[in-house]
């Protein structure tokens, strides 16, 4: 096991997975954490009770990289990005998601710092090329939106430059959990449905617009954020893990109906599920099935038991959403 000694950098540290990662670091006794993020009032709540040393604006970070004044870190977790799958400004995405990642990666390699960054399962597109994390098949992937393309572009760049074998790109599947409130429309269905069920007593799901999937039987690999944190930290704490891309998921595809029933059960409500047409703008970019092949992750020695979907939804709702408790407050 590697020791997470020294100072750690977490970009996007006030966001969803980033703040949960700081919680995970704190639980391991790591408090020398530099957080890089744009902290809005909504995001500030995610940092309640968490211990970190410094908070910097992402633009300050980019200036420090350009002038080689970033300091010294034992590990960099680069989770900061625009994660909106409906963002249409490609130039903005390329600068934010590709450009910043490229510059920070180059700095990390030049300073012998372990670099762990967030790629995305969205890079797999419609899944016709499979969803295994085999680096040799990277060029075959066809992302369905600008966000996914910006993530895929850095994966390709890192491979072409020979960086990918020295860094860790984590392809998060459908992560959900506390600390999502700031995400608005990009919140997980767990968060959105929690609000809808409590206010209306029902929840809505998109109808299927493909004959091979019944309504509500579209499937996702749902991953609880607490598992995502443990998996992410595994790459910082474990020696001799080969560099490259790694799927982070449960390895099980569950339906939206499974998720809906777990939500109603956690809230002690009788299920009331309505189906609505999917907006036309989403239909060509919608993933009907995602499931992580986690073989490569398991080969690194990761064998911690995962939360089941029902357990995770129950924990998220009963211990976080209903009482309004953030991770650092428990």
| Catalytic residue numbers, as ranges | 147, 183
Rounded-to-integer distance, Cα 205 and Cα 20, Å: 27
Rounded-to-integer distance, Cα 160 and Cα 175, Å: 29
Whole-angstrom CA distances from 285 to 169, 190, 263 are 23, 21, 26
DSSP letter (8 states) at residue 116:
E
Rounded-to-integer distance, Cα 158 and Cα 217, Å: 36
Q: Could you give the angle at the alpha carbon of 322 between the alpha carbons of 206 and 193, nearest 5°? A: 5
Is 162 strand, coil or helix? coil
β-bridge partners, 115: 76
Give exposure, 102-135, as e/b (b: 16+ Cβ within 10 Å): bebbebbeeeebbbbbbbbbbbbbeeeeebebeb
First to last CA, the chain: 27
Q: Can you read off the two tokens belonging to residue 276?
A: 């609505």
Element spanning 276, H or E: strand 273-276
Q: Can you read off the two tokens belonging to residue 94?
A: 């390329």
List the one residue out of 31, 35, 34, 38 whose CA is nearest residue 13.
35
User: DSSP E strands: which ranges in 161-265?
Assistant: 168-172, 174-176, 203-206, 219-220, 222-224, 244-248, 254-255
Place of tokens 């890192």: 158
DSSP letter (8 states) at residue 128:
T
């Amino acid at each position: 096991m590697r020791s997470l000694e020294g100072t750690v950098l977490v970009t996007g540290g006030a966001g969803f997975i980033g703040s949960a990662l700081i919680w995970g670091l704190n639980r391991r006794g790591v408090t020398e954490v530099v957080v890089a993020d744009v902290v809005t009032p909504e995001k500030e709540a995610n940092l309640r009770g968490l211990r970190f040393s410094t908070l910097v604006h992402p633009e300050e970070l980019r200036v420090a990289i350009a002038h080689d004044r970033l300091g010294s870190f034992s590990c960099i977790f680069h989770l900061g990005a625009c994660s909106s799958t409906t963002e249409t400004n490609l130039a903005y995405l390329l600068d934010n998601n590709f450009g910043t990642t490229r510059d920070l990666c180059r700095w990390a390699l030049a300073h012998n710092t372990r670099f762990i960054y967030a790629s995305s399962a969205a890079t797999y597109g419609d899944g016709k090329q499979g969803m295994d994390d085999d680096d040799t098949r990277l060029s075959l992937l066809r992302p369905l939106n600008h966000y996914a393309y910006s993530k895929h572009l850095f994966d390709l760049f890192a491979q072409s430059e020979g960086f990918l074998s020295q860094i860790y790109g984590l392809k998060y599947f459908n992560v959900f959990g506390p600390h999502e409130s700031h995400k608005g429309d990009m919140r997980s269905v767990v968060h959105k449905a929690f609000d809808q069920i409590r206010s209306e007593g029902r929840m809505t799901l998109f109808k299927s617009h493909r004959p091979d999937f019944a309504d509500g039987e579209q499937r996702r690999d749902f991953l609880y954020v607490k598992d995502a944190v443990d998996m992410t930290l595994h790459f910082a704490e474990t020696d001799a893990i080969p560099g490259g891309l790694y799927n982070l998921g449960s390895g099980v595809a569950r339906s939206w109906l499974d998720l809906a029933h777990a939500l109603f059960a956690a809230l002690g409500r009788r299920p009331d599920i309505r189906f609505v047409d999917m907006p036309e703008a989403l239909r060509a970019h919608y993933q009907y099935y995602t499931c992580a092949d986690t073989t490569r992750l398991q080969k690194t020695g990761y064998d911690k038991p995962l939360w089941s979907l029902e357990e995770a939804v129950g924990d998220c709702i009963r211990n976080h959403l209903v009482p309004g408790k953030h991770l650092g407050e428990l």
